[in-house]
Amino acid sequence: MKIRCPHCQAVAAIRTSRPWTPVFREIRLQCTDVDCGATYVASLTIDRMLVSSQKPNPRVRIPQGYAVPRPANDDTQQEAAAL
């Protein structure tokens, strides 16, 4: 997964992360463009389960969810390249 700097669109590198709970983590990002130099704090949350764990932690509650449908590669309409 690549996260882009919202200002200059360069890749933002994850420098550190810190867990707050088993399903929430704070992430510190730094833009890799030295002329930009922006740093950010982002968050990562586990929202729902697609397949249940075979080693469940009784203290962790994650709602059962669903997969968001994604189009197959052949569903995208593209013009054929001119030869």
What is the rounded distance in angstroms from the CA atom of residue 6 to the CA atom of residue 13? 13
User: In this complex, which beta carbon is closest to Zn ion, that of residue 27 or of residue 62?
Assistant: 27
Buried b (16+ CB within 10 A) or exposed e, 32-50: eeeeeeeeeeeeeeeeeee
Confirm or reject binding of residue 38 to Zn ion (CB under 5 A): yes
User: In this complex, which beta carbon is closest to Zn ion, that of residue 28 or of residue 62?
Assistant: 28
Confirm or reject binding of residue 28 to Zn ion (CB under 5 A): no
- Strands 3-4 and 11-21, sheet pairing: antiparallel
Instruction: Tell which one of 27, 36, 40, 62 touches Zn ion (CB under 5 A).
Output: 36
User: In this complex, which beta carbon is closest to Zn ion, that of residue 10 or of residue 62?
Assistant: 10
Confirm or reject binding of residue 29 to Zn ion (CB under 5 A): no
Q: How distant is the alpha carbon of residue 64 from its chain centre?
A: 19
Instruction: Tell which one of 25, 28, 30, 33 touches Zn ion (CB under 5 A).
Output: 33
